[in-house]
Amino acid sequence: MLKRAFVSIALLSLAHAPGQSVAPESTPGVGPEKPEFFNRVIANQKRGEAALDLYERIERVETRKNPSDPAPPTIKIMRVIPSGTGMFRIALGPDGKPRDPVVYRADLQSLARTLTLLVNEEGSQRDVLEKYAKKKKERNELINATHNAFLFTFVATEPRGDRTLSKFKMEPNPGFKPTTRFTSIFPKVRGFVWIEQTSGELARIEGEVTEDISVGLFLGKIYKGSHFMQERYEFLPGLWLASFSQYDFDGRKLFSGFSIHERTFYSNYRYIGPPKEALVAIREELGHAELDKLRADPADQ
């Protein structure tokens, strides 16, 4: 949730940010005189957020002891599939394929059971659904709170391939009053956001922690100087999703220090749909796997 809160800062607060600095006259309509531009940004981001519950993907997560390590000591590659109450992660090998077909099949069967319970509206899933609904409610509250948390000032335009990005400086609004643990993060972060001019899509965000942030009921801290960023591209027509994110957090938990230096690459987005459609797709995949096994092992027939 903490990482998502950081990324949400810029993604979700552009629609009504007060005190936006007027862009130079030579700049296309991106200043406060064009509020519909920022309304488009917020609408696009909400659509992208909703798509994460419908599209599976491949994640390559590289973890380093410090940001300057040339080669990450830990690399995890996972197939990430929406499960109706979050994300179901299945480990893959270095080549992006299953390490062990037996284990991989067992993971798919576990996901199928979970999806079946949701589709059949089993009572045993009530608590899980309530917890997921609570997380979504907290997410919406976070979105609502960001509308006046930051001030955005136009900086310049920058090319990205055949597209043009508008760069904005992002600074805390001194008039903002946090009301929750997560909104208390906002006054302690500043950075930049890049918006693709034609589509009104967020293309990049970079942010830095400017004061220590208490986390975990004040039993831990994220230290000043911690950094985060995310890149987003148009993976499908009209659908922009994350392609890369990086988190460099230093802090402490209780009396022990910690350091998180994580880079994640996102690829192979593929529509799998809500639980009912996803269940059909997973069952079909399991059926193909069983058929392939029988063909390879005719003695088992």
The SS3 of residue 292 is: helix
What number is the average pLDDT over the span 69-81?
88
Q: Which of 128, 135, 139 is nearest to 83 (CA)?
A: 128
pLDDT band at 293 (very low <50, low <70, confident <90, very high): low
How far is the CA of 54 from the CAs of 83, 144, 274, in angstroms? 9, 23, 6
Distance separating alpha carbons of residues 289 and 76, to the nearest angstrom: 24
Distance CA 19, CA 151 (A): 6
Q: How confident is the model at residue 83, as a pLDDT?
A: 92
Instruction: Provide the mean pLDDT of the chain.
Output: 80
pTM of structure: 0.82
Return the minimum-mean-pLDDT range out of 22-36, 47-61, 79-93, 246-260: 22-36
Q: How far apart are CA 172 and CA 167, in angstroms?
A: 17
Q: What is the pLDDT, as a whole number, of residue 27?
A: 38
Cα(63)–Cα(93) distance, rounded to whole angstroms?
A: 16
Helix axes 2-11, 126-145, angle to 10 degrees: 40
Q: Residue range 121-150: average pLDDT?
A: 75
Q: Per residue in 157-197, pLDDT tens?
A: 999 999 999 999 988 989 888 887 778 888 998 999 999 98
What is the tally of helices (H) and strands (E) in the chain? 5, 12
**Burial label, 204 (beta-carbon count in 10 A; 0-12, 13-18, 19+):** buried
Structure tokens at 240: 């922009």
Instruction: Summarize the confidence of residues 23-32 as an average pLDDT.
Output: 37
Least Cα distance to 56 among 30, 78, 85, 24 occurs for: 78
Q: Does 19 have pLDDT greater than 50?
A: no
At 22, is the pLDDT very low, low, confident or very high (cuts 50, 70, 90)?
very low
Task: Give the three-class secondary structure for 26.
Answer: coil
Residue range 219-224: average pLDDT? 83
Residue 68: per-residue pLDDT: 75
pLDDT (0 to 100) of residue 20 = 38
Instruction: With beta carbons less than 8 A apart as the criterion, state whether 168 and 192 touch.
Output: yes
Residue ranges of the domains in the chain?
2-56+110-300
Per-residue pLDDT at 45: 78
pLDDT, position 218:
56
How many CA atoms lie within 13 Å of 253's alpha carbon, on the beta-carbon side? 5
